[in-house]
Homo-oligomer: A and B are copies of this chain.
Amino acid sequence: MKKIGLLGFGTVGCGVYEIITQNSNYLNNKVEISKILVRDINKSRNINFPKEILTDNADDIINDPDIDIIIAVIGGIHPSYTYIIKALNNGKHVVTANKAVVSKYYNVLLKTAHENKVAFLFEASVGGGIPVIKPLKQNVKINDIGKIKGILNGTSNFILTKMSEESYTFADALALAQKLGYAEADPTDDIEGYDIARKLSILSNIAFKTTTNLQDIKCRGISNITKLDIEKFNHFGKKVKLIGSAIKSGSNYCASVEPILVDKTSPLSAVNDAFNIVSVSCSTVGELQFYGQGAGKKPTANAVVCDIIDILHDDFDNPICFDENLIKSEGMKLFRGKYYIRINTDSNFDIGEITRLFEESNIKINVEKEKDTLFIFTGLVSAEKIDNIMSSIKVRNFCYARLDDNKVIA
């Protein structure tokens, strides 16, 4: 019987408690949640559990020699990181769903786990309930992985789904997401792609056998996508998705979070609302895709418990390489594609000047003008060039998005 200390008794923590205690088949008599860290012991909770296992002192759990496994499901970087490092150094296995901690301290966490010969598992930190970390860790042993691509954030995907399927404006879709509890009061992390960047960095670290820097992942969010853009995408049979991508070429890599236009017949297009998908391109087995619920109490808790089961089986297979700087970020250089660009010409600017910017960079373009709006469709071009041009154009109301897989838009 292994004893578990649970750090955090919020949504995911309660989900884990329920799965472990209610399941009558497999986990009973194998594990027991013996202590739970909460901020307020006296808070009333809508779950049945023995009150005496609560504590508001983390050391009661982390320093308890009887506890074998720590589940860290508190949000935020601090004090989560300190708790996890202490627990690992105390020889305890750690399972976490905290992507902020995993992505920021990937290297030191895995080194500490390695030195203490314990597990550091984080399946729930990427893609919620989807089992993707585990097959990725295994396949990277016998495959070179050249590309990762995924819809990795339920909130932004919910907003884009409402905009695409039900003609919501961005503002209305965001308000609905907040009302339903899918988006936080400050939705920046979700809509600007920072949450996806954290998950992409974790996937990249495993797939490319290195430690990537979060700062190297260029993020562009979805807040400037308008109903007009969505109508255009529909017209061309495309759907816009906020996608995290990472590619490796030799010892270079590029990683980004950007709005990407996918075919309505592509598997990515069918990933709606809170569902996530991860696609991994492997040298031997080819492309693999993993799909499921990317967030939520039960799916996330399910992934945490799957990690616990691996620990029970002594199958904690920490990633095989965590040397830093084995590969170098090339910014956006390795991304290429055809672009949709919409520039709202309310502001004072010269169309000729804009088209000249593209011509000077040898980019083939088709230009359409509708009322006070300019649409530009480019030929195949590097993402770096387009990013440079777009940041040099001094307009506020614009949107641009790359086509997935270089398919033709118009």
Report A's interface with B, CB cutoff 8 A. Answer: 19, 23, 25-27, 129-131, 134-135, 138-139, 141-143, 264-267, 269-271, 282, 284-293, 296, 298-299, 301-303, 305-306, 309-310, 313-315, 317, 320
Contact = CB atoms under 8 A, between A and B. Distances in A.
Nearest to A263: B270
B264 A302 contact: no
Given A25-B141, A142-B26, A291 B289 contact: yes
A25 B326 CA distance: 15
B264 A265 contact: yes
Nearest to A272: B265
Nearest to A239: B265
Contact of A285 (B293, B310, B313, B320): B293
A269 B264 CA distance: 11
A312 B142 CA distance: 14
A93 B285 CA distance: 23
B302 A142 contact: yes
Nearest to A25: B141
A296 B284 CA distance: 11
B290 A142 contact: no
B306 A139 contact: yes
Contacts of A265: 264-265, 269-270
Nearest to A18: B284
Nearest to A291: B289
Contacts of A317: 313, 315
10 contacts: A130-B288, A138-B309, A267-B270, A284-B298, A285-B299, A285-B303, A288-B291, A289-B290, A314-B314, A315-B315
A52 to B, nearest CB: 26
A289 B289 contact: yes
B19 A142 contact: yes
A29 to B, nearest CB: 14
Among A26, A285, A301, the one with the most B-chain Cβ atoms within 10 Å of its Cβ is: A285
Contacts of A141: 25-27, 309
Nearest to A129: B285
A135 B138 contact: no
A23 B217 CA distance: 30
A139 B143 contact: no
A302 B267 contact: no
Contact of A134 (B135, B289, B293, B302): B135
